Structure 1
Amino acid sequence: MENRGDEVQSRSAASEWVRGGGRLEWIDVARGIGIIAVVAGHVWTRGPLRDAVYSFHMPLFFLLSGFLSRPQPPARFAIRQLVSQMRPYAAFLILLIIADSIIEPSKGNSPIFDQWPQDLLPVLLGGSWLRGPFTIFWFVPCLMASRIIFNALSARWPDPLDHRWALAIVPAFIGAYIVGDVTRASVLGSLTVPMALVLLWVGAAWQRVPWRRWMWLPLTALSLAGLSAVLPTLNMKAADYGLPLLSIASAVASTLLLFRLSVRIAPVAGWLAAIGRASLVIMYLHVAVIHYLSPYFSKPWLLIHALLLPIALYYFLRANGWGRRIFL
């Protein structure tokens, strides 16, 4: 879910990775596959399908963001990220708080936040303090903070294959497992930032690695180990990264294979690209749709509604100047 401005700056580099990159429709296709997996993982909350999508779905977005990244002036980049990401974050959060305060009382229930002004603190803390229809709100501030840190490092070390990156990535990788064991408290998704930083670096480094046919075998083996739940699955929000090194390696492998698939099917997968372009709105709203509609629909219908309703809102917002400025 990269900003369009950042994506434009990254197209020339990404085009070197796949011939005839053009508008790089495959990026939106990859986002589309990723967001469908995210929604499916929140519809089917247990079982083989849930385990399969949880083995890679959130790392995909961090890897893609790293793949598209280019070093930019740190201060300007940080300010732009704070403005462009936290504005829609706040707008969607307020929208859902208002919706919850209307929907739940109409069903005879109390809204999740019903003790004001005391509830203002957990709303501001976000991350692990948000549950129910708000549970996914950890992701965007986590991605934003990770990108700001990663860009500041990239400004100093533009080449992600520079050996000096080990000074940041090795401690971040080890620290990701340590903090996940110590606490589950996560202010604005910050608990996941160390591993997100690692995944951003992997994505940026992979952009510089030419594809070789021999890569299919190890990547496929690692991917299948995660998809089949032979390796423990991931829960990035809670900083649970499964079996150290191997589970996250499986997520990387699955994502890189999905990138290759996205490149291949992009010419005939316009519908997936359309879903990908709406991925930010889907990310914010799909859990709420599932939360409120789950008593009334079967799981396949929940999946359809959790995709189509946010997509419809995305195109409505995009067609209105105020909607684009506030929510997109």
Structure 2
Amino acid sequence: MSERGRDERLIWVDAVRGVGIVAVVAAHVWTRGAMRDAIYSFHMPLFFILSGYLSAPRPPVVFARRHIPAMMRPYALFLLAVLAGDYCAEAAKGGRAIFHDWPADIAPVLIGGSELRGPFTIFWFVPCLLFARIAFNAALARWPDVRGRAWAVAAPVALALAYGLGAIIDWSPLGLLSSPMAFALLWAGALFRRMGWHPVIAALLIPLSLCGLFLFPTINMKAGDYGWPILSIIGAVATCVLLMRACERLGHRAAWLVPLGQAAMVIMYLHVAIIHHLTPYMGKGALFAVALALPFAIDRLIRRSPLASRWLL
């Protein structure tokens, strides 16, 4: 029963990641309209909230030493791959790669975050998640009860810092501008796990989610734009919690999303480049399918090799 429960838990977690990555790709294909706005109200917060839900305190130094190479090694390798792909694609059609002025362009590539645009625009996410997780784990190791008084101070301070920095700064090296908000979302995910579920919670979350999807201004975490203060984030949290709960209740019926969830990080790294270079040649539907299917196939190939998996996953 323990193994069965673990398998079912992994199914719904990967199913949530699958929903999230499909939403991310769709939002980068359909860049205007009501669907795009609805997706932008929750799609990036979903990954932070899910990460917070799965968190458990670890010794801070051990956690950092493990996760920095584990997350930044694939980041660097996929960044190099997209750089090479951009250069080859632009050379084939007589264009000029976004980063072409070497060695001057080494600095913006290393700075990352807001310095990366076009096919590289999504690369802010992983370092932002990494540094937020390191900070959150250090706080969680010190204050394990996320419902305690220390967190009643820490979470509002993180929110205030997020809104303050977002209002006055546009520059975001390695996506760090968004890390305070990511920290607060990690806490929200951890809090939801420890609160449990009750029908009353659904009654409260559904109207908040609908407001977030269709009424409140959207969220652009990379730019430090979080919509209406507090309200847009509450709407995002409500939508994310409801999605997580729905996938949990579906269990094995959501298993078809699991492979996409397992490939989510490779899809995250590569889909924008595919969309960037193929947009002039494809309709939206075909572009969406290719932007999901091609990185998914690359993920499957990587998993065939233990060495490639170690370095790229």
Bin for the TM-score computed over the shorter chain: over 0.9
Q: CA separation in 1, counterparts of 2:156 and 2:234? A: 15
Pick the aligned partner of 1:245 from 230, 250, 263.
Answer: 230
Q: Which consecutive residues of structure 2, in runs of 5 or more, have no partner in the other structure?
A: none
State the alpha-carbon separation in 1 of the partners of residues 195 and 152 from structure 2: 17
Is the contact between residue 8 and residue 251 of structure 2 (CA under 8 Å) also seen in structure 1?
no
User: What is the CA distance between 1:321 and its match in structure 2?
Assistant: 2.3
Does residue 145 of structure 2 align to residue 159 of structure 1? Answer: yes
Aligned equivalents of 2:159 and 2:184: distance in 1? 6
Of 129, 133, 145, 1:143 maps to: 129
Number of the residue aligned with 2:161: 175
Which has the higher mean CA deviation after the structures are superposed, 112-121 or 291-300?
Answer: 291-300
- Which AA in structure 1 matches 2:250? I
* Aligned partners of 2:12 and 2:251 also within 8 Å: yes
Distance 1:266 1:23, change over 3 A: closer
Structure 2 Cα separation of the partners of residues 270 and 172 of structure 1: 35
Identity across matched positions, percent = 52
Whether 2:290 is the aligned partner of 1:290: answer no
Deviation at 1:210, TM superposition (A): 2.0
Distance 2:273 2:209 in 1: 30
Which is helix-richer, 1 or 2?
2
Q: In structure 2, what is the equivalent of residue 190 of structure 1?
A: 176
> 1:250-309 deviations in whole A, cap 9, x for unaligned?
000000000111112231222211100000000000101111111111111111111110
Residue 100 of structure 1 deviates from its aligned partner by 0.8
- Report the RMSD for the aligned CA atoms in angstroms: 1.3
2:284 is the counterpart of 1:312: no
Distance 1:157 1:163 in 2: 9
Deviations 1:140-195 (A, max 9, x none): 00000000000001111011111111332111101111100101100000000000
Give the structure 1 partner of residue 221 of structure 2: 236
Distance 1:72 1:322 in 2: 27
- Partner Cα separation in structure 2 for residue 293 and residue 318 of structure 1: 26
User: Aligned partners of 2:186 and 2:50: how far apart in 1?
Assistant: 8
**Counterpart among 51, 57, 60 of residue 37 in structure 2:** 51
Which range moves more in the overlay, 83-92 or 20-29?
A: 20-29
Instruction: Tell me the matched-pair count.
Output: 311
- Distance across 1 between alignment mates of 2:252 and 2:156: 39
Contact 2:41 2:235 (8 Å CA) reproduced: yes
Aligned letter for 2:261? G
Report the counterpart of residue 202 of structure 1 in structure 2: 188
- Which SS does the other structure have where 1:128 is aligned? helix
Paired letter, 2:73: R
Letter in 2 for 1:91: L
- Which aligned segments of 4 or more residues in structure 1 are displaced greater than 4 angstroms? none
Q: Matched residue of 1:271: which SS?
A: helix
CA offset at residue 206 of structure 1?
0.9
* 1:133 paired residue number: 119
Does residue 271 of the first structure (1) align with residue 246 of the second (2)? Answer: no
Query: Which residue pairs with 1:77 in the alignment?
Result: 63
TM-score by length of 1: 0.93
**Equivalent residue letter for 1:322:** L
Q: Deviations over 1:191-215 (max 9, x none)?
A: 0000000000011111111211112
The amino acid across from 1:236 in the alignment is M
